[in-house]
Amino acid sequence: MFKAACLGLVAALILSTVSATPAPVSRTKLSLTLEDRVLVHRLLEWAVANSNGKYKMPAVEPIVLRLSPYAMAEIACPGHLTCPVYGLHHVGSYVVMVLGVLPVEDQEHAILHELIHYLQSRADPSIHDCMTDFRDEMEAYRLQFKYRMIVQDYKGPAPTVSPSCAPDELK
């Protein structure tokens, strides 16, 4: 079962697999353009600069794949034709995936959200309990919202997330 199931979130998903091959090659975009690489670098720099010293710029930047809705459902929601997940990061890998059909402005902050999870997994790869995952998710949403307000001039409401951990997981 996916770790994100305990969070009850549909906007992001953290998988507890270390597979570096997230989807069949025929359904992913493997070659990143120079523009993609520049965007990933710029978003990582922003996340590091706004993390209050918690994260450092990684020596190896992750690969970002833009997936079709079918490919995303195949990975994040096996057995379903559709999936309400917009992005995911495989813990332990260098791959971040986002739904390629999102509008460009939404892809950017969705990529940022998953890059924050990438930085979190590099900062402390050993802890994966429900409450830690929830705190990581809250931080990713907080930084994503800050980015949207400052960089994208977003004026909408802040996202709300609540843990759905079992009582014995609340620590």
Which residues form the domain of 45?
A: 3-162
112 within domain boundaries = yes
41 within domain boundaries = yes
Q: How far apart are CA 98 and CA 117, in angstroms?
A: 13
CA within 13 Å, CB half, 129: 7
- Mean of pLDDT values over 118-126: 86
170 within domain boundaries = no
Q: How far apart are CA 163 and CA 169, in angstroms?
A: 10
What pLDDT, on the 0 to 100 scale, is given for residue 54?
93
147 within domain boundaries = yes
15 within domain boundaries = yes
169 within domain boundaries = no
Report the domain count for the chain. Answer: 1
pLDDT tens sequence across 134-154: 899 999 999 999 999 999 999
Note whether 112 and 145 are within 8 A (CB).
Answer: no
Note whether 123 and 165 are within 8 A (CB).
Answer: no
Q: Tell me the average pLDDT of the chain.
A: 77
Query: Does the CA dihedral 140-160-109-142 come out positive or negative?
Result: negative
97 within domain boundaries = yes
152 within domain boundaries = yes
Question: What's the whole-model pTM score?
Answer: 0.76
What pLDDT, on the 0 to 100 scale, is given for residue 171?
57
pLDDT tens sequence across 73-104: 888 889 888 888 888 887 777 788 888 788 87
- Please report which confidence band the pLDDT of residue 41 belongs to, taking 50, 70 and 90 as the band edges: very high
pLDDT at 37 over 60: yes
